Amino acid sequence: MNAKDLHRPAIRIFRSAELASEAVANVIAERIRSVPATTLGLATGATPRLVYKTLIERGRASWRGVRCFNLDEYVGLTPDHPASFACYMRDLLFNHVDVEPGRTHIPDGMAVDIDKAAKAYEQLISDSGGIDLQLLGIGRNGHIGFNEPGSAHDSRTREVRLTQSTIDANRRDFPEGQEPPATALTMGIGTILGSREIVLLATGAAKAEAVAAALQGPVNPDCPASALRRHAAVTVFCDQAAAARLDIEQLKGTGSVHAAA
Ligand code: GLP
């Protein structure tokens, strides 16, 4: 894909992480209200926590018709392990809304045949009609889901080896002295780009370099999030800290940035 085929994500910059998270929650809540049978792609990590909290507190829209696919799961963690993304999603969202358990899907990190489980997950997304709205966070190294630097932009759901920086960043979620798993099952970048609409939420100074690389750096596997410029319907919600390394004047010239509330 050459430069003229790339897209410019809309960028909305907020004074705080709270305001950015609230704006993302508004997008999701409005989507569920207007399209009750919508299919959401969901993320984990620290960043989306306030989005889910806000959605629960709003409580207006019913999740009964919503289908959810999570981006990733560690390989080797049982769904009841406190650091598993299955546990994260139950505790931070699914146990607090009326989503049907049979409509929540998380890659099976305990599968005996991981490759078979990866293909089955990819097929289930396709058989369900694809993802309408995918929520993403971003790793400090520009990863999306668990697609680490070097991941092909057309990659599909598969087992990936986590980088040391990702393991170090995610160790906080594990009991003292317990190492995160070395691999994970993740939607591929190509799988993510198959969503009809993508919302990326990035907050905090630690993400500033990744956000700048994703939005204004080269589009190549070195920065997985740069693949988002291959998609025509991406909106980036960030706070000023995460936007700090962006060349705002250059972006204003393209009409893609809105310094919001
Ligand atoms: C993990 C998750 C990603 C997430 C990233 C950033 O690796 N697999 O989906 O976006 O970490 O997490 P945080 O929001 O905690 O910085």
Give residue-wise pLDDT tens across range 211-242: 999 999 999 999 999 999 999 999 999 999 99
What pLDDT digit, counting tens, does each position of 43-52 carry?
A: 999 999 999 9
- pLDDT number for residue 5: 81
**Segment among 110-119, 165-174, 181-190 with least mean pLDDT:** 165-174
Please, which pLDDT band fits residue 60 given cuts at 50, 70 and 90? confident
C-alpha 106 to ligand 1 mean position (Å): 15
| Residue linked to tokens 């920086």 | 165
User: Best mutation site among 24, 44, 187 for ligand 1, i.e. most ligand atoms within 8 A of its Cβ?
Assistant: 44
Residue 256 has pLDDT above 90, yes or no: no
Q: How many domains are contained in the chain?
A: 1
CA 150 – CA 234 distance, rounded (Å): 22
- pLDDT number for residue 255: 75
CA 255 – CA 246 distance, rounded (Å): 14
Give Cα 18 to chain centroid, integer Å.
17
CA 245 – CA 42 distance, rounded (Å): 26
- pLDDT number for residue 191: 98
- pLDDT number for residue 173: 94
Q: Is 137 a pocket residue for ligand 1 (Cβ < 6 Å)? A: yes
What pLDDT digit, counting tens, does each position of 79-96 carry?
A: 999 999 999 999 999 999
Q: Is 246 a pocket residue for ligand 1 (Cβ < 6 Å)? A: no
**Containing structural domain, residue 25:** 3-259
Ligand 1 atom with the shortest distance to the CA of 136:
10
What pLDDT digit, counting tens, does each position of 98-137 carry?
A: 999 999 999 999 999 999 999 999 999 999 999 999 999 9
Residue 61 has pLDDT above 90, yes or no: no
| 148 catalytically annotated | yes
CATH assignment at residue 41: 3.40.50.1360
**Segment among 10-14, 23-27, 166-170, 241-245 with least mean pLDDT:** 166-170
